[in-house]
């Protein structure tokens, strides 16, 4: 007979793996969708539709909504960092010629930056073994994306936005852990997405033409990013932050560039050499050391 408790245990244990795989599809489907809509317009549509989806889910499951304006404020701040700042900055960076490899390398600084901050803000201790693991993870990510790196690629503006994206995600995950750990994932994420939809729409109104080519490719990419990324992966991230240490959760981001590289090989026929394979192994070892 099936044991529900055991099945749930397996599901919880597999959550980090499911998160890494779903998060890693982000660049793939962004690359598919961006030729058909400008970055802020793309994100405004994505956030707005994801808000509707999560609001319906929250209502169906009768999720509790925050009653205090102060709690809503904290939820919106965390959401603005992990959705608006992070994703808008990533889209602008790539639009400015920064390759996904360089963006991945800059994002690879996130776990180390998180580890530097968590002790002061969250009171989490990072051991020597974890520091070594974090350093190994960064080396692994560098090796994976080495072939995609170019010294003079992109603009200084684009590189600045890639750095802003990394800072937004780092500060957002720490803020989420510190002030929003108890929020209901369904209603809380719906609030965050609503705020981010408004912010992205304002940016689209001021900086873009807001023209969209509603091709089947764009609709497919948009649908995937809404269901799997904006709803699925982010809710998994918030769940992992609620139950685990921020530094350990951040170390998961070392596994996303190797996973994206493998996906890029199958979807876009992007090749990777021996150095990247070594980097993947080093990143996995680094992650395993960081979470012990």
Q: What is the 3-state secondary structure (H, E, C) of 16-56?
A: HHHHHHHHHHHHHHHHHHHHHECHHHHHHHHHHHHHHHHHH
Query: How many alpha carbons fall within 13 Å on the CB side of residue 252?
Result: 24
Cβ 212 vs Cβ 45: under 8 Å: yes
Q: What average pLDDT does this structure show over 206-210?
A: 94
Is the confidence at residue 140, as pLDDT, over 90?
A: no
Q: Which of 6-10, 25-29, 73-77, 98-102 shows the highest mean pLDDT? A: 73-77
What sign results for the dihedral spanned by CA atoms 125, 128, 130, 131?
Answer: positive
> For the segment 58-105, what is each residue's pLDDT rounded down to a tens digit?
999 999 999 899 999 999 999 999 999 998 888 888 777 776 667 777
């Amino acid at each position: 007979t099936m044991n529900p408790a055991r099945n749930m245990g397996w599901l919880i244990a597999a959550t980090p793996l499911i998160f890494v795989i779903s998060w890693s599809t982000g660049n793939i489907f962004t690359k598919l969708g961006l030729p058909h809509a400008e970055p802020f317009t793309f994100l405004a549509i994505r956030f707005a539709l994801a808000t509707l989806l999560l609001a319906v889910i929250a209502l169906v499951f009768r999720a509790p909504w925050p009653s205090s304006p102060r709690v809503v404020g904290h939820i919106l701040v965390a959401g603005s960092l992990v959705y608006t700042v992070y994703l808008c900055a990533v889209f602008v960076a790539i639009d400015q010629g920064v390759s996904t490899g360089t963006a991945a390398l800059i994002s690879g600084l996130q776990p180390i930056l998180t580890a530097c901050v968590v002790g002061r803000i969250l009171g989490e201790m990072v051991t020597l073994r974890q520091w070594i693991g974090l350093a190994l993870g960064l080396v692994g990510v560098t090796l994976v994306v080495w072939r995609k790196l170019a010294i003079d690629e992109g603009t200084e503006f684009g590189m600045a936005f890639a750095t802003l994206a990394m800072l937004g995600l780092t500060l957002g995950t720490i803020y989420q852990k510190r002030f929003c750990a108890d929020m209901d994932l369904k209603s809380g994420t719906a609030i965050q997405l609503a705020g981010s939809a408004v912010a992205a729409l304002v940016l689209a109104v001021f900086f873009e033409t807001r023209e969209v080519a509603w091709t089947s490719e764009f609709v497919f990419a948009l649908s995937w990013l809404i269901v799997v990324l904006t709803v699925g992966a982010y809710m998994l991230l918030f769940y992992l932050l609620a139950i685990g240490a921020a530094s350990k959760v951040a170390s998961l981001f070392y596994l996303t560039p190797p996973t994206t590289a493998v996906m890029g090989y199958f979807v876009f026929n992007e090749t990777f050499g021996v150095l990247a394979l070594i980097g993947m192994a080093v990143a996995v070892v680094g992650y395993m050391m960081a979470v012990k």
